[in-house]
Structure 1
Amino acid sequence: MKNEKLIEFLNSFQSLVINSLDENKNPFSSYAPFVKYENRYYVYLSSMAKHSHNLKQNPKASIFFCEDESSCENIFARKRVTMQCDVITLEKNSSKYEDILDSFEEKFDKSMVQTLRGMSDFNLYEFKAFYGEAVFGFGKAYNLGGENFNELVQRENTKGHGHK
């Protein structure tokens, strides 16, 4: 069953952190604005961006959502969600490609997205989760489950945080 707390948390973001691997398998992290469309996450990146090169060389990445430091209750227990994903580059000018860019225009500054659409070096990347985890405080760590990774699944065989 969908977890409203998880959905509300993810819906509060306009950008996500992408973690990709470079040609030497070194990790690289940065952020990008995103849209969620049919239970997948999409970013629109220039081919000049390091992630573009990394994702073409290694089409696996993780995406990360983390509660803002200024609004968290405890810096040691920030709410966060991580998803490991398979990544594909969408074919330009397909109906799906156009629909997703229309979603970018609805979510963000329409004129900015239209400007980016006019740049030939931008590509649309699809992130399809195959594993995920969420933390919503001390002792509140979950795996993501369900067909659309919108369920919190209690972890089994975990003892939590003990005291010395």
Structure 2
Amino acid sequence: MSDEFEINGIQYRARKLSAMDQLFVARQLTPLIGSFVPLLQMAAREAAVGGNVAGAILSLDVAQVMPLAQAIADLPEKNTNDLIARCLSSVQRGTTSPAGTTWASVWSTSANRPMFEDLDLMTMLTLVAHVVRKDLGNFIPALFSGSTGGAGLFQTPTL
């Protein structure tokens, strides 16, 4: 099962990560949750006053964002690299021709590097975010909403 999407005019598709890869990704992101939740809660309160959450997050000042930035900086390099590699190894890039679309892997697991020289950091992180949202989307909201039948591990303000 894969889904197709576009970034900067280029077609991509991502297949579902294995359950073990999903667990690895979730474990690597766990240290960020403690820093991200307060930002999300601040943004949700701000958005309730007259905006959207994404805009509210972007309007936070540097001091408010520093705990998340520090948590990202504290992630071990090997774990960060493995997280990016696992996510990107599930992504393919499409090239359209008169004969149709051909798909090529974005990440070379044997070379442990991107297959395309034009993949910049922002595109790679956007691809990783897409995979995380797609594969952990049912898990991460459960932490906040309690949709697994419990109260949720983290509560955000009701809007």
| TM norm. shorter chain > 0.5 | no
Structure 2 length-normalised TM: 0.25
Structure 1 length-normalised TM: 0.24
Which structure features the higher share of helix residues? 2
